[in-house]
Structure 1
Amino acid sequence: MVVKIPPIVLTGGGQELAELHVVQRFCLDSTEQYLAVDQSVFKLNAIIDRTPVFRYDYDRQARSKPSSHLQVHAHRGALSHLLSQAGHTKPHELAALHFPTGGARFRPCLEDVAEFLIRDFRLDARQGWERAVHEGRERWRRLQLRATVRDMPRDAAEVLTGLGYQITRPADGDPHDSAKALHNW
């Protein structure tokens, strides 16, 4: 199933400056019980010349790129125009923009950056780098999962119960979810 939202026109100072394009494709997850995102694209196009500025992509089946990534297409002209018309204080500095990448728990790890530099920048790598990256990334994601479970224990218990685990609630009641983990940008 594909969901494509009509372009959302974004304005700054009352002027149409950009369009946000959203496309998501869904499939059944590996258990064939739940709907899962197969692909998603959030793309910002400058209206002045219809060029892409950036896009957040997710591709569940990705093999030659990270499954979730940010691509910056911005060319100084279109981006500077968009930012200056919107009243940005530094319209000519791409570095003045801070692209979100998933918050504290779902941010990229060092191994993601290392693989990016090796694959996309084509930098040299030592023999066995892939194994080291995979092992480090797995450690990171398992640690982050454990932290996420601590942040949202009721959700974790609900999922585990759905998988057939028997969960006993703490005698003093359900632990509270971490508002910081749920709400911080």
Structure 2
Amino acid sequence: MSDLLETESNTFAANLTDLVQGCVVDAPRFAVVNASNDKQRRIGPEPFEPGDGSGAGFGFVSLVRKCDEAEQPRLMLKIEFRVSLDSQAEHLAVQQSTFGLWVRPDPQRGPRPVFRIEYDREATSKPLAHIHLHAESVELGWIYGTAGLPLPRMQEIHFPVGGRRFRPTVEEFLGFLNREKLFTDWRPGWNAILNSSLDAWNKRQAQATVRNNPEAAIEQLERMGYQVVAA
């Protein structure tokens, strides 16, 4: 099991490296490190700073814009995964993930999140896949206020997005940044790399969906004219 976990984790990290380096100038490579649970691994961009837990973690992916003149990056991405083998110990499964956009308007202060897309496979009190928005909403304040409820901070609300199989991907996240013109200074040819990676993700998710729902898959194939025979 350990050897397969290492192999699959390193393959996942290599795929992330190819994707992000193919889209972002001077992007770091993604590394695999041990998690507190020996059946899991953590994956994120180098450098990883080990420590006692208070300051340990992966670095950011810097987004260098042509309009920025500061020596320190003003925009950056956080992309991290925690993975393990699935219940059959045959395929890699994402246990937790987070990716989002961070901003550093003041070089004397640390980066602050703009929004975060998170996934927690074992979540029970929140949607498995959800978004945190670091913003304010007058309308949301009115909804809570007229109900006599205290207004939570926007970033404390878990907005559901897609569930286990159809949650947002890193590829869709990068495409969103471009489409909304939050960042547009990509490497040449980045879009083809992104689409190829997204196609591979969709194929893996389709295969996982079939593994978990073989009867539904057979029913649909037979409806399309195929004959399915067990080996």
Q: State the TM bucket, normalised to the shorter chain.
A: 0.3 to 0.5
TM-score (norm 2): 0.38
Question: Highest relative contact order (Cα 8 Å, sep 6+), 1 or 2?
Answer: 2
